Each structure stands twice: as C-alpha cells, then as structure tokens.
C-alpha cells in the first residue's frame, strides 16, 4: 500500500497526518476500548478530536458502510446460495453486521478523520523541532 494516500491511513488505522502513530487506543476487536480514538498522535502530536463531538459526523460514514455491507451480503448470497429467501438474507446480513460491527465502527471514524486531516510527510520532523526549541528555551 502506498504511503501518503488517504487509503493508507484508513486501512492501516494510522494518524492521518504522519501515518506513523496509531489512531486508535487498541485493536477494534478489543471490545473494552472499541473504536476509542487517541487524544493526540504520539509521533506528530496531531489532535484527533478536532472539535467537541467531532466523531458524530462519522455516523454518516457508518451508514454508508452499512449500505455497502448489505449490498455485499446480497451479492454473496446470490453467488453461493441456490434458493434465497428473505429470511436467509436477513439472517446473513444481521450475522455479518454483528461480526463486522467493531471494524465498521473503527473504519467510519478513521475515514471521517482522514477527510479533515491532511497528510504531511514532514509532520514528525516539524514536531521534533518544536520540542527541541522548547527544551532550548527551558535550559
Ligand atoms: Zn501523527
């Protein structure tokens, strides 16, 4: 996967600015911290919650992902099951939704943040320079 693209930070769940630091507190399937975003990037200090309630907008992304999942489930049903009933379709969709809920929740937040935070390949160097200047002033 090419570094510097939005897809890289979304799928690798990295900081949208430096693409090195982790975006989430833990893996999406660790249910106790499911979808919990870090306050700041540990590598470039990018703030992840740009404003209060920032991630409420990710519900729209989540809705889109849900529709995409439903279409995928319908296509897979047509490909692998001979007689499709509304019940089998419903059961397979609900099952897919339950199994993929943590990853969809995380992806929606990751996509939402990536829409607003730009990639900067020098982000870490810039942050380290700020820290260096800071320590020079203090000493
Ligand atoms: Zn970062």
Any idea where the domains of the chain sit in the sequence? 6-138
Q: How far apart are CA 66 and CA 103, in angstroms?
A: 12
CA distance 18 to 138: 27
44's torsion region: left (phi>0), alpha (psi -120 to 50) or beta?
A: alpha
CA of 119 to the centre of ligand 1 (A): 9
55 contact partners, CB below 8 Å, separation of at least 6: 37, 49, 109, 112, 113
**The pTM is what?**
0.89
Cα–chain center distance at 84 = 33
Cα 33 from Cα 56, distance rounded (Å):
17
Please write the tens of the pLDDT for every residue from 43-99.
999 999 999 999 999 999 999 999 999 999 999 999 998 888 999 999 999 999 999
What is the predicted pLDDT for the residue at 8? Answer: 96
Cα 64 to ligand 1 centre (Å): 26
Q: If phi over 0 gives left and psi between -120 and 50 gives alpha, with beta otherwise, what is residue 19?
A: left
- Rounded CA-CA distance 85/9 in Å is 39
In the reported structure, the alpha carbon of residue 15 is separated from the centroid of ligand 1 by a whole-number distance in angstroms of 5
Tell me: pLDDT of 139 over 80.
no
Tell me the torsion sign for CA atoms 55, 58, 60, 62. negative
Q: How far is the CA of 23 from the centre of ligand 1 (A)?
A: 8
Hey, CA dihedral for 105, 23, 46, 115, is it positive or negative? negative
Q: What is the pLDDT of residues 3-51, one digit of tens each?
A: 899 999 999 999 999 999 999 999 999 999 998 999 999 999 999 999 9
């Amino acid at each position: 996967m090419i570094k510097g693209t939005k897809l890289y930070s979304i799928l690798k769940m990295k900081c949208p600015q430096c693409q090195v630091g982790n975006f989430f507190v833990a893996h999406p399937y660790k249910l106790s911290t499911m979808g919990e975003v870090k306050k700041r990037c540990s590598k470039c200090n990018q703030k992840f919650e740009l404003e209060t309630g920032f991630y409420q907008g990710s519900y729209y992304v989540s809705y889109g992902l849900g529709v995409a999942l439903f279409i995928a489930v319908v296509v897979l049903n047509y490909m692998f099951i001979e007689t499709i009933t509304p019940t089998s379709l419903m059961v397979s969709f609900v099952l897919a939704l339950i199994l993929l809920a943590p990853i969809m929740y995380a992806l929606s937040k990751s996509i939402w943040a990536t829409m607003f935070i730009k990639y900067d390949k020098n982000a870490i160097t810039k942050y380290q320079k700020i820290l260096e200047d800071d320590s020079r002033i203090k000493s």
